[in-house]
């Protein structure tokens, strides 16, 4: 019995850490593309100032809402609200990943986004010696908006499971990995299998969301926490079937056979 | 004679900033998929009702994922129909 309890706790902790790490990595890859475009076209000082300002704003949000969520909101209410947020967020991620894996929606192309950003930023040259407001705002917005998703995921997953520290460490590790990779390759990370990662994150967010809204309305989950990996597997199967069905429908409409496999391969 | 309020205060008071903040969070959380938000809310309502009936909490553990799958399925299918010529 103790072994089963330990196994279920370990599995849900692993799913939690993986979800936060993958979500943070995907968002940071997208932010890195924007920062690189600003750095190359408008100067690294402007880009890094934008990044620093965005990180400071995100840190304020975490400092204000993190302790407030953990200490003041009752766990049952927290899990219901947080579970609903995660469920909606996860459904959005999963929907997008399935549509991209099936070829219905264009994949997220870091190379194309980078070229587009560079072209836009090159048009208006920065004022010599003065502050470059355009570069600053683009870098700030890129890091803040991508980072905000990370903050929401870290705060919701971390606070509802009472593992805010673990969620923060997983997010920080992902940021570190992406930044080091970016420094090593000196370009945007277009080889990252972004869609497969988004599919994985979507599956985990939907699973945690389902589990916690269920807890909030007093659903009796068989196996307690062990329901989370079962939900991940169930939703994974559904995502695979949906992707395959959409591919087959698209191939039928185009008049040729569907390609094999339905996994969310990278962009 | 009292001084007129600053432009910043006036914008705060007339609610334009609040509306802008509201629009930002709406776009951030709901975006172009209100069907997912409404579907998830309906699923949650149905499961809460089922759980309020005596002896139905175990059945709700099956019903909730089924409803979530239905919400995802209809949203994906509708999006695919819209995008496929």
**Are residues B26 and B63 both part of a single domain?**
no
Residue A88 in this model has a pLDDT that exceeds 80: yes
Q: What is the pLDDT of residue A230?
A: 93
- What tokens appear for A16 in the block? 């939690």
- The DSSP letter of residue A186 is -
Chain B: which residues have CB within 8 Å of chain A? 28-31, 33, 36-37, 39-41, 44, 47-48, 51, 57-58, 60-61, 64-65, 68-69, 71-73, 75-76, 79-80, 83-84
Q: What is the pLDDT of residue A263?
A: 46
Which residues in chain B touch residue A105, judged by CB atoms under 8 angstroms apart? 79, 83
Q: What is the pLDDT of residue A92?
A: 92
Full residue range of the structural domain in which residue B6 is found: 1-30
ipTM value for the complex: 0.81
Full residue range of the structural domain in which residue A54 is found: 2-254
Residue B33 in this model has a pLDDT that exceeds 60: yes
Residue of B49, B50, B71, B80 best to disrupt the A interface, most CBs of A under 10 A:
B80
Q: Give the rounded distance of the alpha carbon of A253 from its chain centre.
A: 33
> Considering the domain boundaries, does residue A182 fall inside one?
yes
- Band the pLDDT of A257: cuts 50, 70, 90: low
Q: Which of A54, A87, A232 is nearest to B72 (CA)?
A: A87
**Are residues B49 and B37 both part of a single domain?**
yes
Complete DSSP assignment for B4-53? PPPHHHHHHHTTHHHHHHHHHHHHHHTTT-HHHHHHHHHHHHHHHHHHHS
If one counts every other C-beta atom within 10 angstroms of the C-beta of residue A260, the result is 7
CA–CA separation, A16 and A168 (whole Å): 11
Give A120-129 pLDDT, tens digit per residue.
777 766 655 5
**Are residues B41 and B10 both part of a single domain?**
no
Would you call A99 and B84 a contact, using CB atoms and an 8 Å cutoff? no
**Domain count of the fold of chain B:** 2
CA–CA separation, A166 and A16 (whole Å): 9
Q: What is the pLDDT of residue A127?
A: 58
- What tokens appear for A176 in the block? 């570190």
């Amino acid at each position: 019995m103790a072994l089963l309890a330990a196994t279920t706790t370990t599995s849900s902790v692993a799913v939690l850490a993986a979800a936060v790490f993958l979500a943070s990595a995907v968002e940071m890859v997208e932010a890195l593309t924007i920062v690189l475009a600003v750095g190359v076209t408008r100067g690294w000082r402007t880009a890094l100032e934008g990044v620093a300002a965005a990180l400071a704003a995100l840190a304020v949000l975490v400092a204000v809402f993190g302790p407030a969520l953990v200490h003041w909101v009752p766990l049952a209410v927290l899990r219901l609200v947080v579970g609903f947020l995660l469920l909606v967020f996860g459904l959005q991620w999963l929907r997008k990943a399935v549509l991209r894996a099936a070829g219905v929606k264009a994949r997220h192309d870091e190379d194309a986004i980078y070229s587009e950003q560079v072209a836009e930023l090159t048009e208006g040259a920065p004022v010599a010696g003065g502050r470059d407001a355009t570069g600053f705002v683009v870098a700030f917005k890129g890091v803040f908006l991508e980072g905000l998703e990370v903050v929401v995921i870290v705060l919701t997953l971390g606070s509802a499971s009472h593992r805010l520290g673990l969620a923060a460490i997983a997010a920080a590790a992902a940021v570190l990995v992406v930044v080091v990779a970016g420094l090593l390759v000196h370009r945007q990370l277009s080889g990252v299998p972004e869609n497969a990662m988004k599919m994985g994150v979507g599956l985990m967010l939907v699973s945690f969301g389902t589990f916690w809204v269920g807890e909030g309305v007093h659903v009796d989950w068989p196996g307690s926490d062990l329901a989370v990996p079962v939900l991940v597997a169930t939703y994974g199967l559904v995502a695979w079937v949906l992707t395959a069905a959409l591919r087959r429908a698209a191939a039928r409409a185009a008049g040729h056979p569907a390609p094999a496999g339905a996994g969310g391969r990278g962009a | 004679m009292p001084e007129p309020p600053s432009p910043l205060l006036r914008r705060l008071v007339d609610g334009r900033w609040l509306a802008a903040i509201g629009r930002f969070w709406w776009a951030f959380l709901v975006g172009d998929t209100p069907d997912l938000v409404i579907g998830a809310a309906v699923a949650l309502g149905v499961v809460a009702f089922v759980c309020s009936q005596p002896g139905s909490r175990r059945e709700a553990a099956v019903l909730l994922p089924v409803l979530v799958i239905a919400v995802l399925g209809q949203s994906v299918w509708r999006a695919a129909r819209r995008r496929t010529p």
